[in-house]
Structure 1
Amino acid sequence: MSGPDSAVQAASPPGTAVPPAAPYARPDGKAWFVLVVLCFVYVLNFLDRQIISILAKPIQDELGITDGQLGRITGLYFALVYCILGIPVAWIADRTNRVKVLSFACAIWSAATLFCGLARSYPQLVVGRLAVGVGEAGGVPPSYAIISDYFPPGRRGTALALFNFGPPIGMALGVAFGASMAAAFDWRIAFISLGVVGITTALFVYFFVPEPEKGRLDAPPSAPAVEASAGKIPSAGSGFWSTIRMFFARPVLILTALASGAIQFVTYATLNFTTLFLMREKGMTLQELALYYSILLGVGVAAGMYVSGWLVDRFGQKSKVAYALVPAIGLAAAIPFFLGFVWAPGWPLALLFLIGPTFFNYFYLSPAVTLVQEEVRPDQRVLAGALLLLIMNLIGLGLGPTYLGMASDMFRVANPENSLQLAFYTLTPFYGLAVLLFLWLAHAIRKEEAQRTKP
């Protein structure tokens, strides 16, 4: 990718935000090509992760698993492997070729998805699911860092927002493709087909995506900036443990992860059980899911991610407080729509209310990812991104679906007809917790910015 004549080798001082790049450092065609390819890999990443939830009803019917078992296999079991392996894989990627790490990871999770389609029992499905987690541990953090080395500061929010179209596209394609295949043939065909496509994509990434030079678009800090930051923000070297200490010592970084985890508790719990909820308690069919719900997911989530990324790029230039206020406002706006979705007596009204949460629930992701990538040095980006995902996913992916499945099983004893509805209602307080944490993050950002401007 073309950039300033003097490609920047020096890293910014430990624990400080990366200064804006030169205004003439614009992303070229290669950068956009890489972004499209990485977004497609993310589509497969999320599609393979969510396909088991999308096809929960036919899988439950054939294998006889409960809501609690479904919650654990889509939540806790997957998240433990995904999060634990994500840190060492990210450390390796920071020090080696990130593109190769990504391609190997894509091949592993795709082969595991294919295996899930061959499972004949719940334990076999668990093994396949764990293997998917092993592969996906090396998927997203390397992509964050690769994109950050193709797009300069001031454009990363939009670029990462476009990259984060992967989940909504994956959700939409998963519902449309998975439900259609299950209705026409068998749920196993959907898993096997996705596995084959993923392995092919992994080979394409390995041979055709170039590894960018680390930090070439990050301008070196001026001497006054270095002096201003000295002693005020925790420093760190580039080592594994020093980067981890830096991350957990900075309130801005840890609050970003905790606030994002709180809302992911809601989003993953909701996402992993919505198709089952719509079919079992709202009366939707697989064919109706493939058409209406897939469109809602694809358009709504993508719009929310893009709008939030655009907002932080625009308002974050004056103050990074926008990285916290944009998610806080969006999540507060989602609450009444979420309650309407859970209450609605039929699926048409439920889908109408679901537009609100589908749009606003993901206002956190692009700001959170961009803030973390901007607040660490180029050689810390993969590991910092993995730490963000570790905390978010342990709380959200690990506990959200697990909790909702257990709650549904508990309510099912006395309320077999609407156990999932009652379980969904209990997610509401977590919206409030997420809003409060993002407001706390806004305070921490203001405090850190004030420290940096002191003489």
Structure 2
Amino acid sequence: MLLIFLYSSIFIPPFAGILTDIQKHFGIGDAKGGLLQTAFVLSYMVFAPLFGYLGDRYNRRFIMAAGVFLWSLTTLLGSFVNNYQGFLTCRALVGIGEASYSTIAPTIISDIFIQDMRSKMLALFYFAIPVGSGLGYIIGSETGRAAGNWQWGLRVTPIMGLIAVLLIIIVMQEPKRGECEGHSQLAPTSWWSDIKALARNRSFIFSSCGFTCVAFVAGALAWWGPVFIHYGLVLQPGHENDKLEE
């Protein structure tokens, strides 16, 4: 649980923190800059249900390790790509890797804790994600500034990601599904029966729709928020030189 929390809270790829540098490097405007986030969201949306299906039937630890490895590898490769199309592809692959981790990690937490403790641990996990996003802005931009090259802002996550992969494989234990609640003989059902059961669960449907709206708004704010804050600062009286430099 500690490993999952640490990775969620610290090692979030800092793309938004260096977005203006990325746009300048590839000579793109806001439309193509926004497409980088769209590619990530679409790949995440498509592959998250797939990883949920696989996580119910195969070893979650190895699936999550593979996802974190892909996430870290494509982030690293993106820092060496010199064309926009290649960088966009890497961004989409990052979404696939993150979909595996974000989908499977909560199920592992649920199989370790029960009742009120489960809710507390899941709350801690989901609290760690925005914390990691905030740290991503700082770490990405400050690392790039210190190195004099924005690409180095993307090379922090892969180092930590490799450590996380090794810890997941070596240290983490795969909990048995349902054992903490006395259900040791759980068997996976068919994909279609899962869909029908979820469709009849009104709480799940409304929660999913609500979270989709939250993710849409929060994603747009997280991606473009730093840019608007920067524009607001340089347009203030006394910052005309900063505006010209940018």
TM-score > 0.5 by shorter chain: yes
Say whether 1:40 aligns with 2:6: yes
Task: Select the residue among 108, 120, 125 that pairs with 1:146.
Answer: 108
Say whether 1:217 aligns with 2:183: no
Q: Distance in 1 between matches of 2:81 and 2:157?
A: 15
Q: Distance in 1 between matches of 2:129 and 2:36?
A: 19
Partner of 1:117: 79
> What aligned pairs does 1:12-411 form with structure 2 within 5 A after superposition?
35-43=1-9, 47-48=12-13, 51-74=14-37, 76-185=38-147, 186-218=149-181, 238-283=189-234
Q: Report the AA paired with residue 158 of structure 1.
A: K
Bigger Cα Rg: 1
Q: Report the AA paired with residue 56 of structure 2.
A: D
Q: Normalized per residue, which structure has more helix?
A: 2
Q: Distance in 2 between matches of 1:144 and 1:202?
A: 17
Aligned length in residues = 233
Cα offset for 1:238? 2.2
> What aligned pairs does 1:435-450 form with structure 2 within 5 A after superposition?
none
Q: Distance in 1 between matches of 2:10 and 2:59?
A: 21
Cα offset for 1:44? 5.5
* Partner-residue secondary structure (3-state), 1:195: helix
Q: Report the AA paired with residue 201 of structure 1.
A: A
Cα offset for 1:219? 5.3
Q: Distance in 1 between matches of 2:161 and 2:19?
A: 21
Q: Report the AA paired with residue 198 of structure 1.
A: G
Aligned sequence identity (%): 24
Pick closer, same or farther for the CA change 1:175–1:277 going to 2, 3 Å. Answer: same
Q: Distance in 1 between matches of 2:195 and 2:33?
A: 33
* Contact 2:10 2:136 survives alignment (8 Å): no
* Contact 1:42 1:139 survives alignment (8 Å): no
Q: Report the AA paired with residue 230 of structure 2.
A: M
Q: Distance in 2 between matches of 1:84 and 1:175?
A: 26
| Runs of 4+ residues deviating >4 angstroms | none
Q: Report the AA paired with residue 42 of structure 1.
A: S
Q: Distance in 2 between matches of 1:192 and 1:198?
A: 10
1:190-237 deviation line (CA, Å, top 9, x unaligned): 2123212212211211111000111122257xxxxxxxxxxxxxxxx8
* Contact 1:153 1:218 survives alignment (8 Å): no
1:117-162 deviation line (CA, Å, top 9, x unaligned): 1121211110111111121121112111100011111221111011
Cα offset for 1:273? 0.6
TM-score, normalization by structure 2: 0.88
Q: Distance in 2 between matches of 1:188 and 1:262?
A: 32
Q: Distance in 2 between matches of 1:106 and 1:40?
A: 13
